Structure 1
Amino acid sequence: MLLIRDRERALSSALPSIIRIYTAFLALSSIPIANGLHHMSRKSPEKLDRRKEPITPLVVTNNCPEIIYPGISTQSGEGPGKNGFKLDPGESYNQTVSEDWQGRVWGRTNCSFSDDGTKPKDGGVRACSSGDCNGIVDCKVGGDVPVSLAEFTLDAGDGHTYYDISLVDGYNIPMAIVLQPLQNVTLDDIPPNLTNPSCQGTAGLLAQQGYDPYNDHPNFLRTNSSYPLPFEQNVDDAQVSRWCPWDLQQKAPEKPGDGVYPYPDDNIERPPFNPCYSACAKNNKPEDCCTGKYNSPSSCSPSDYSKAVKAVCPDAYSYAFDDQSSTFIIPSGAGFEVVFCPGARSTNILATQSDKMLQLAQQGRVSGKKREESSLTYRRRGSTTVLKRSGATRSSPLGNTVLLVTSAMAASVLAYAEM
């Protein structure tokens, strides 16, 4: 079992190809890259102070049939007042974070705490069966794997917000991320079905194929029938019940035969709720974690777990080099709601709406015009361009430099650039 709590430590040497290509390209242009992960853009002190004020809403909602205890961790910026709390079914909890907040939200299940919330009720080390954070209600550390994560970088300094649903550490509970435009005209113009991903990987909670939530819920996840969410339609409840390989289940069945786990095998019944470790979180092998000699897209391939994740939750992060098909990029300024057990089905936004998502990432809006495929002009209006992987940022001072990027590089750069 992987003992570290933070996936960045497991993936610290796994640098995506986009950064490698981009770094080499800048080297040819004699433009240095800053070494630190954090940077300061050329903004007035008043603006910088405002970004640090905790005024951006971060709402957490429990639509699950059971009590959950959400957990929150802050990597940078000003976090919320509470990093852990109880949510009954149907309840929401509204807090605020700073405009430059970077952090994660997850759900803890089957929890039992002491009356003061400082330890497990019945002794032991863990108070929750999944997502536990040292047995206390108000988390001081990240959640134990396996755990589903909602990850945010609200303002990296480049005018963009980056967010994703990550199953790199495993899966324990369905979740959705819902954008709140906060009466921001720029964000109001973005079609809501491009911004609100959902991952539903728990048996018994998946709606049937072809399900239309808008008949009963006209504003489902802040979308509507005019801008309906594109749902994954191939997976059925039987597949959801067995997508996790046996040896990665938190409570694996008895080993069949002589210790070999056939996958998949429908002859052995699985429990209705069983969190799933990722291959990296369970085995901590370089080939699963994309570390050591496997720290590049060409040498690190998706595992069976990663492939199963993308089938069940197409918009979710599945392994270290899954940036292109799992990162949402919008103009900064929005608040967010994390919804546990959102209902319906998993979304398939990034794959089915790729042209619009590229426009949104580059231009901050969707115009309907298709981008030229042969070449593009890569221009930075501000002082800093940020390249992001798995919650971390790497910065490079470009100023107003204009770079011509060939079509071979465009596929790697598009999702990270602003025109």
Structure 2
Amino acid sequence: MLQPLLFAFLFFAFVAARQARLAAAGHAPHHYMNRFKIAKRQSGDANTPLMLTNWCPDSVWPAIDSQGGTGPSNTGFELASGDNQTEYVSSDWQGRVWGRTNCTFSGHGGGSACTTGDCGGLEACQGPGAPPATLAEFTLNGGQQQTFYDLSLVDGYNLPMAIVMLPNSNTDLTTLDPSTTNPSCVASAGNLAPPTFNPYTNSQQFLGTDSNSPLPFDTKITAATISQWCPWDLQVTPPSKPANGAYPYPDTKIPRPAFDPCYSACAKYNTDAYCCTGTADERGKCSPNYYSKAAKQVCPDAYSYAYDDQDSTFVQPTGGGFQMIFCPGGRSTDIIGRKGVGVIEHT
């Protein structure tokens, strides 16, 4: 396991990318590592694969935002249910990937074309998307030949997502245990499998793993709790009020929509306490809030607020590619809770 100071040194590039994202979204930099800066580098070796896979029942519009290195020329497109598309980035790429939902593009931009994850009405994104959006974040070469990546709910949640590491015949990566490299976040009622979920019967594989190295899944969340996890005030589309204009109490008895995107407290209210900015811009002064606690329960391996980094960031040698799967099915992984944070730091 990385010692704290060494981890901080290696993590500077990853954090710098997060600072740029928050600044672009209107939030001040909030992380204790904001003293580090990283310049955008342009390189020509755009041969690292990013595979986008859609297992959702409807189309998803993946978006790719680059903050360093060389990103793909195709930064947004429609991905039909069951389809795959691979884009390529450089080995020093920094950026993030997310899925947009229910999009209709006019071709002119402006306004909003998607219900979640929108990029200013553009199909080809030219910057960060609007929250809420489940993010896959990457710094492919953050120093000392280390790659950093995570699933992030810091900007909220819109779609289930998994990250599968692709070794690319790199011997440093082919020997890694895939049950410690492939996190998944499933926080939508319609996508959640029962607590007894076992994808490995009949020698089947799931998210790059098999029965010899099975993923550890969360077993606590139920169909009832998954449908109510988003705090009431953070729902993008809360249920309509009844005819008398008042919600019954408690609100846990009110049916919610099957597609129930959730803002983070930071994304909705933009306060120092929720965003770990200003007077709360130090570890110890910014604590998990009501949203991040709820998010961490349904997606234990996901990044839930600004200072959740050292418990949610996966580290491995450079050289690998990645597959992002929208609506992977199954259940959220609990790699860190079941195996310990040290197992996700492959140094």
TM-score between both structures, scaled by the size of structure 2: 0.87
Instruction: Describe the superposition over 1:326-349 as per-residue Cα deviations: whole angstroms up to 9, x where unpaired.
Output: 100111110001110011000011
Q: What residue in structure 2 maps to residue 113 of structure 1?
A: 105
Contact 1:310 1:316 survives alignment (8 Å): yes
Match of 1:307, SS state, is: helix
Matched, 1:65 2:57: yes
Matches of 1:161 and 1:170, distance apart in 2: 24
Matches of 2:172 and 2:20, distance apart in 1: 37
- CA separation of 1:249 and 1:261: change in aligned 2, threshold 3 A: farther
Q: What residue in structure 1 maps to residue 260 of structure 2?
A: 274
Match of 1:129, SS state, is: coil
Matches within 5 A, 1:309-324: 309-324=295-310
- CA separation of 1:217 and 1:64: change in aligned 2, threshold 3 A: farther
Whichever residue aligns with residue 21 of structure 2, its letter is: D
Matched, 1:340 2:332: no
Tell me by how many angstroms 1:8 deviates.
4.6
Q: What residue in structure 1 maps to residue 183 of structure 2?
A: 197
Contact 1:133 1:141 survives alignment (8 Å): yes
Match of 1:222, SS state, is: coil
- CA separation of 1:306 and 1:356: change in aligned 2, threshold 3 A: closer
Matched, 1:83 2:75: yes
Contact 2:39 2:68 survives alignment (8 Å): no
Matched, 1:171 2:152: no
Unaligned regions of 5+ residues in structure 1, if any?
A: 21-34, 41-47, 365-419
Whichever residue aligns with residue 7 of structure 1, its letter is: L
Matches of 2:142 and 2:329, distance apart in 1: 31
Matches of 1:211 and 1:202, distance apart in 2: 16
Whichever residue aligns with residue 65 of structure 1, its letter is: P
Tell me by how many angstroms 1:39 deviates.
6.5
Matches of 1:324 and 1:352, distance apart in 2: 16
Larger Rg: 1
The alignment of Structure 1 onto Structure 2 pairs a total of residues equal to: 327
Tell me by how many angstroms 1:15 deviates.
2.7
- CA separation of 1:205 and 1:288: change in aligned 2, threshold 3 A: same
Tell me by how many angstroms 1:307 deviates.
0.5
Q: What residue in structure 1 maps to residue 336 of structure 2?
A: 350
Matched, 1:130 2:116: yes
- CA separation of 1:97 and 1:160: change in aligned 2, threshold 3 A: same
- CA separation of 1:65 and 1:258: change in aligned 2, threshold 3 A: closer
Tell me by how many angstroms 1:38 deviates.
1.6
TM-score between both structures, scaled by the size of structure 1: 0.73
Whichever residue aligns with residue 80 of structure 1, its letter is: P
Matches of 1:244 and 1:36, distance apart in 2: 34
Whichever residue aligns with residue 73 of structure 2, its letter is: G
Matches within 5 A, 1:145-164: 145-164=131-150
Q: What residue in structure 2 maps to residue 187 of structure 1?
A: 173
| Candidates 16, 21, 24, aligned match of 1:6 | 21
Whichever residue aligns with residue 235 of structure 2, its letter is: Q
Matches of 1:336 and 1:149, distance apart in 2: 14
Instruction: Describe the superposition over 1:23-53 as per-residue Cα deviations: whole angstroms up to 9, x where unpaired.
Output: xxxxxxxxxxxx651269xxxxxxx99x641
Matches within 5 A, 1:19-34: 19=33
Match of 1:138, SS state, is: coil
Unaligned regions of 5+ residues in structure 2, if any?
A: 1-18
- CA separation of 1:159 and 1:273: change in aligned 2, threshold 3 A: same
Instruction: Describe the superposition over 1:70-129 as per-residue Cα deviations: whole angstroms up to 9, x where unpaired.
Output: 001000000012000111111000111000000000000011123xx444xxxx711111
- CA separation of 1:111 and 1:259: change in aligned 2, threshold 3 A: same
Match of 2:51, SS state, is: strand
Tell me by how many angstroms 1:269 deviates.
1.4
Matches of 1:118 and 1:350, distance apart in 2: 44
> Identity over aligned residues, as a percent?
47
Range with bigger deviation, 174-183 or 216-225: 216-225
Structure with bigger strand share is 1
Matches of 1:36 and 1:250, distance apart in 2: 35
Match of 1:150, SS state, is: strand
Contact 2:161 2:185 survives alignment (8 Å): yes
Tell me by how many angstroms 1:301 deviates.
1.3
Matches of 1:291 and 1:109, distance apart in 2: 30
Match of 1:288, SS state, is: helix
Instruction: Describe the superposition over 1:224-254 as per-residue Cα deviations: whole angstroms up to 9, x where unpaired.
Output: 1100001011001111101001110001235
| Candidates 11, 15, 26, aligned match of 2:31 | 15
Match of 2:251, SS state, is: coil
| Candidates 90, 105, 128, aligned match of 1:142 | 128
Note the aligned Cα RMSD (angstroms): 2.6
Matches within 5 A, 1:396-415: none
Instruction: Describe the superposition over 1:136-178 as per-residue Cα deviations: whole angstroms up to 9, x where unpaired.
Output: 2111121111111000000123210000010001000000001
Matches within 5 A, 1:288-303: 288-303=274-289
